[in-house]
Structure 1
């Protein structure tokens, strides 16, 4: 997550810090002409190492990825946070704010080390809701909880379809045409046939 304070009000929520936000702050604190030994570049390098490791484990199962994280990512994070604590920089500078941000939410950024199915960055999720964020000022009926819930359901369907390589318009049309005729609508097995990754949907909605 991006550390929005409202998240901490959610009961039983397990917050996972987004390392892309940490990296972005160090990137913004590093002048283009900065050499490789500059503090900003060093912080950026730590983040890049983490993302490089994660990329190399993309095809692993969650259990395998968790083992790799404990073996290689955890020590790297420890080194990074120790490095942050040992820096003497102006708190109000861009670099100071980047370091303060990382240390303030250290435990939240380490949550990713507890579960192999968690991700290092939520950039994918942020891109998925970009359409909602860009269009919300132009849409009606989302000033109520029910309106917002309806929008979330529809947009979740469409974005999930896109992520699974479907034509979102074809998929929505498919659902509207097929589901009303589904006699066993309440059965989980019947509904699974309409999920974006099912073989039938993949064949008909691309």
Structure 2
């Protein structure tokens, strides 16, 4: 399988170009993300995949990673119940979470400091009210209830869910990474196996190049065609010039003006 790592500073006004990286693994075993991220420290925004748990352990070296939960994943559990079962609690939960997403739309691209200021003023009261409401509703439900399970998913990770309130670099969701892997999910209807581990690693490398091009508004086919033609004679010390964002400046003059 291919698991994406997505880096995009644009939501908080960062200047670094966005990029995606796909890592191939033979299975969903937790050892793979732990090995791949062994030297990384910082914030990891992801779903609740059990393979990430050890990364947040206080005893982890060189340091524990900081977990930021994805509100889209939390919302999805309620949304499915609201859509299929018309569950009143789920419907209200979706409405409350959507209020947070509406606030986020107004601060997309702002600086981390500006984002935190708005979140403290507008989002934090909503989050505090949501937590109290969820705990109240949970007390009324059977532990076997699907709605209770959706609530538990959020409450057991509440610290991670509220991380965005104090750090303007954190997004409300990891939807960007989800979009990056969508092409893989759709493509698997046409191909099932990479053929070998080597094939899997090559597929991950190609996916990395294609998705990074797309994130930088570069035509992957045009970029790859040109790069393959130039690569044999291109100096290794100037390989940075061939990266999608730099290639874009060379081939799309309007990007320089922008």
Same fold per superposition (TM over 0.5): yes
Pair 1:137 & 2:182 matched: no
Unaligned runs of 5+ in 1: none
Conservation of the 8 A alpha-carbon contact between 2:194 and 2:200: no
Partner of 1:43: 93
Distance, in Å, in 2 between the alignment partners of 1:29 and 1:78 is 23
Alignment of 1:73-92 (within 5 A): 73-87=123-137, 88-92=140-144
Partner of 1:165: 217
> Alpha-carbon deviations, 1:1-60, whole Å to 9, x = none?
11001012235333221111111111122256849xx32221111110011111111131
The alignment covers a number of residue pairs equal to 195
Distance, in Å, in 2 between the alignment partners of 1:110 and 1:97 is 19
Q: Secondary structure at the match of 1:193?
A: helix
Distance, in Å, in 2 between the alignment partners of 1:70 and 1:153 is 40
Change (3 A) 1:202 1:6: farther
Moved more, 108-117 or 75-84: 108-117
> Alpha-carbon deviations, 1:106-162, whole Å to 9, x = none?
111122234322221122211211233443733223x36xx5544333212110111
Partner of 2:54: 9
TM-score, normalization by structure 1: 0.81
Change (3 A) 1:153 1:63: farther
Pair 1:109 & 2:161 matched: yes
Q: Secondary structure at the match of 1:77?
A: helix
Change (3 A) 1:166 1:4: same
Pair 1:194 & 2:239 matched: no
Distance, in Å, in 2 between the alignment partners of 1:166 and 1:132 is 19
Where relative contact order (Cα < 8 A, 6+ residues apart) is larger, the structure is 2
Distance, in Å, in 2 between the alignment partners of 1:139 and 1:173 is 23
Q: Secondary structure at the match of 2:152?
A: helix
Conservation of the 8 A alpha-carbon contact between 1:27 and 1:40: yes
TM-score, normalization by structure 2: 0.66
Moved more, 83-92 or 58-67: 58-67
> Alignment RMSD, CA only?
2.5
Distance, in Å, in 2 between the alignment partners of 1:174 and 1:15 is 40
Q: Secondary structure at the match of 2:195?
A: coil
Conservation of the 8 A alpha-carbon contact between 1:112 and 1:119: yes
Q: Which has the higher strand share?
A: 2
